[in-house]
Amino acid sequence: MSFRVGLGTDIHRLQEGLPLLLAGVRIDHSHGLVGHSDADIVLHAVTDALLGAAGLGDIGEWFPDTDPQWKGADSSLFLTETVKALREGNWAIGNLDIVIHAQKPKLLHYKPTMKQNLSRWLQIEESSINLKAKTGEQVGPVGRGEAMEASVIALIYQTET
């Protein structure tokens, strides 16, 4: 059996009055993330971690933010397309460890729904998905509330070639 790991990160700017989506969950907050698509940093970082693990490049190559097709796009589409590509290479997802860097709001009670969404789109058990939330300790773009960031590591494995 062969194993691969991949790393994905994403950062988007916060702006007052925009909707905030994290792992497909609408979060109640005064600010939302600015982006060409729906700016869901969690889904973007997960997509990049999986593409990286499979040696398939990055999200910008697959879904360019200059392409009008992806304007306002639901980022779960990036994820489900990536899962399809992995399947074609006989890759299965082992586990994901996800860190969301956000000064506010507290994300604890959104975690179960985030996991449910990821589990559905990735077609893996919720127990294979770990979610962590960290503040920016009031320093840097995250700590000053100017941006949110996500970091993800993913393990994939191939049972046949």
User: How far is C-alpha 84 from the chain's CA centre?
Assistant: 16
Of residues 75 and 103, the one with the C-beta less far from Mg ion: 75
For the window 43-82, what string marks contact with Mg ion as x by the rule CB under 5 A? -x--------------------------------------
Residue 149 touches Mg ion, criterion: CB under 5 A: no
Residues 15-44 that bind Mg ion (CB under 5 A): 44
Of residues 65 and 125, the one with the C-beta less far from Mg ion: 65
Rounded distance, CA 121 to CA 69, Å?
21
Return the DSSP state at 55.
T
- Which of 105, 156, 108, 104 shows the shortest CA–CA distance to 132? 108
For Mg ion, which residue has the nearest CB? 44
Shortest Cβ distance from residue 35 to Mg ion (Å)?
A: 6
Rg of the chain over all Cα atoms, to the nearest angstrom? 15
Q: Are 150 and 12 in contact (CB under 8 A)?
A: no
Of residues 10 and 149, the one with the C-beta less far from Mg ion: 10
Contact window for Mg ion (CB under 5 A) among 8-16, 99-107, 113-121, 139-147:
8-16
Shortest Cβ distance from residue 40 to Mg ion (Å)?
A: 8
Binding residue (CB under 5 A) for Mg ion from 10, 38, 48, 149: 10
Residue type, 40: D
Rounded distance, CA 114 to CA 126, Å?
10
Distances, alpha carbon 78 to alpha carbons 1, 38, 96, 127, in Å: 27, 11, 16, 22
Shortest Cβ distance from residue 12 to Mg ion (Å)?
A: 6
Residues that bind Mg ion (CB under 5 A): 10, 44
